[in-house]
């Protein structure tokens, strides 16, 4: 079966009824970009940049970050590279930084953490912008849920640009900026976020955690961590639909996107961009190639609220 899968590497991911699906890779380190290419990925859908910062005493400076981001861009040779700004806090902490948060998952993590540390954030943004001179980088911002975070983010990007102009350093004038939709509040009040960003990427790992109030890292409640809870599916559906109405791309980059159990369900919800670990990409592509997207969508209509959890057999066609 492995050999069969390998033959799908250069086959475009298109459903039986002609819906084109983007297949992107999640990576944690620059060296993994080659595995994404080897799996035939259309680009990087999620580069978790925090892994450059973890497990070391000194944080990477602007030059080191620039080199790391530029390396991914060069490896991907013109394909889009989505780099997520630092998502530190909760389950991912920096060395030597003891967390004082009573509940780290609900504390100062991700964009909250970065906006509270302007110098650290500015360093990363300058490195990202400089790497954009070498190819199509898309910025992705985690845990966005408030309007002032959107304002603070764009102000930080603008001042990073000004600093680079003052230094005479090159960067792409146009860079796409997207938001992770992983806080239920953002998915529920989705419209202003669709408007403020060029694209959205749904982080189902955190969206499930926060929607169901289940710590994603706690084995005692792992059985309750259910991607098929209709509340989760409605938030995913609402985000995909809002993006479609506005003509803005929507991806899923959480674990759901790489699990073949959910491929047909995500297609039924209207998803056309999947991002996952490179090793999962060809199996998910095979599911896409065998699916009839519109038939799945028709089956799903009106059945989302019939059962908790959602009954996947509804989609057996
Ligand atoms: C997610 O939350 O689904 C996600 C993709 O990001 P992370 O797992 O790094 O929080
Ligand atoms: Mg997340």
Q: What span, in angstroms and rounded, lies between the C-alpha atoms of 120 and 124?
A: 7
What is the per-residue pLDDT for 94?
85
Please classify residue 163 by burial: count the beta carbons closer than 10 Å to its beta carbon, then call 0-12 exposed, 13-18 middle and 19+ buried.
middle
Query: Cβ contacts of residue 71 below 8 Å, gap of 6+?
Result: 30, 33
- State mean pLDDT over 3-28: 96
Alpha helices in 17-146 (DSSP H): 33-38, 62-76, 110-115, 118-131
Distances (CA, A) of 66 to 35, 62, 102: 21, 6, 34
Q: Determine whether the shortest distance from the Cβ of 216 to ligand 1 is under 6 A.
A: no
Q: What span, in angstroms and rounded, lies between the C-alpha atoms of 84 and 106?
A: 19
- Percent of the chain exceeding pLDDT 90 equals 91
Q: What span, in angstroms and rounded, lies between the C-alpha atoms of 104 and 115?
A: 17
Query: Cβ contacts of residue 166 below 8 Å, gap of 6+?
Result: none
- Comparing 90-94, 140-144, 158-162, 272-276, the range with the smallest average pLDDT is 90-94
For residue 171, the CA-to-ligand 1 centroid distance in Å is 28
Q: Determine whether the shortest distance from the Cβ of 209 to ligand 1 is under 6 A.
A: no
- Ligand 1 atom with the smallest distance to the CA of 46 is 5
What's the first-to-final CA gap in the chain, in angstroms? 23
- Supply the residue whose CA is at minimum distance from atom 8 of ligand 1: 205
- Supply the residue whose CA is at minimum distance from atom 1 of ligand 1: 203
User: Catalytic annotation on 114?
Assistant: no
In the three-class reduction of DSSP (H, G, I as helix; E, B as strand; rest coil), residue 45 is classed as strand
* Residue 24's pLDDT band (cuts 50, 70, 90): very high
Smallest-distance ligand from the CA of 142: 2
Q: Determine whether the shortest distance from the Cβ of 204 to ligand 1 is under 6 A.
A: yes
Q: What span, in angstroms and rounded, lies between the C-alpha atoms of 261 and 283?
A: 11
Best probe residue, ligand 1, of 50, 84, 205, 216 (max atoms within 8 Å of C-beta):
205
Query: Cβ contacts of residue 172 below 8 Å, gap of 6+?
Result: 129, 132, 133, 136, 137
Residues 128-186: pLDDT tens digits? 999 999 999 999 999 999 999 999 999 999 999 999 999 999 999 999 999 999 999 99
Q: Determine whether the shortest distance from the Cβ of 50 to ligand 1 is under 6 A.
A: no
Half-sphere exposure of 310 (CA within 13 A, CB side): 25
Q: What span, in angstroms and rounded, lies between the C-alpha atoms of 166 and 161?
A: 9
- Supply the residue whose CA is at minimum distance from atom 7 of ligand 1: 205
What is the per-residue pLDDT for 243?
98
- Ligand 1 atom with the smallest distance to the CA of 26 is 5
Closest CA to 112 of 139, 68, 156, 143: 143
Q: Determine whether the shortest distance from the Cβ of 48 to ligand 1 is under 6 A.
A: yes
Q: What span, in angstroms and rounded, lies between the C-alpha atoms of 235 and 250?
A: 13
For residue 255, the CA-to-ligand 1 centroid distance in Å is 8
Q: How far is CA 118 from the centre of its chain?
A: 23
Mean pLDDT across the chain, nearest whole number?
96
Residue 246 has pLDDT above 90, yes or no: yes
- Comparing 95-104, 131-140, 306-315, the range with the smallest average pLDDT is 95-104
Residues 191-235: pLDDT tens digits? 999 999 999 999 999 999 999 999 999 999 999 999 999 999 999
- Is 294 annotated for ligand binding? no
Residues 42-78: pLDDT tens digits? 999 999 999 999 999 999 999 999 999 999 999 999 9
Q: Are 107 and 90 in contact (CB under 8 A)?
A: yes
């Amino acid at each position: 079966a492995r050999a069969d899968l390998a033959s799908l590497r250069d086959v475009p991911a298109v459903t039986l009824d002609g819906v084109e699906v983007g297949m992107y890779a999640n990576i944690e380190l620059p060296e993994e970009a080659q595995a994404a290419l080897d799996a035939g990925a259309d680009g990087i859908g999620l580069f978790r940049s925090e892994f450059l910062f973890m497990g070391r005493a000194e944080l990477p400076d602007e030059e080191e970050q620039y080199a790391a981001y530029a390396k991914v861009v060069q490896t991907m040779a013109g394909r889009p590279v989505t780099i997520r700004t630092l998502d530190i806090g909760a389950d991912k902490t920096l060395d030597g930084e003891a967390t004082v948060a009573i509940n780290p998952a609900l504390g100062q993590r991700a964009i909250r953490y970065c906006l509270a540390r302007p110098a650290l954030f500015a360093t990363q943004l300058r490195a990202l912008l400089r790497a954009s001179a070498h190819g199509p980088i898309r910025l992705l911002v985690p845990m966005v849920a408030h309007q002032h975070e959107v304002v603070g983010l764009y102000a930080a990007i603008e001042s990073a640009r000004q600093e680079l102009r003052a230094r005479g350093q090159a960067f792409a004038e146009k860079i796409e900026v997207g938001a992770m939709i992983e806080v239920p509040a953002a998915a529920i009040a989705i419209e202003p976020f669709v408007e403020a960003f060029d694209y959205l990427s749904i982080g189902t790992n955190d969206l499930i955690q926060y929607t169901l109030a289940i710590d994603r890292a706690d084995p005692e409640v792992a059985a309750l961590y259910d991607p098929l809870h209709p509340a989760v599916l409605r938030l995913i559906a609402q985000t995909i639909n809002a993006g479609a109405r506005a003509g803005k791309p929507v991806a899923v980059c959480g674990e759901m996107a790489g699990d073949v159990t959910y491929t047909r369900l995500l297609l039924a919800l209207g998803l056309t961009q999947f991002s996952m670990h490179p090793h999962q990409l060809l199996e998910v592509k095979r599911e896409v190639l065998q699916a009839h997207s519109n038939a799945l969508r028709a089956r799903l209509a009106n059945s989302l609220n019939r059962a908790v959890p959602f009954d996947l057999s509804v989609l057996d066609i």
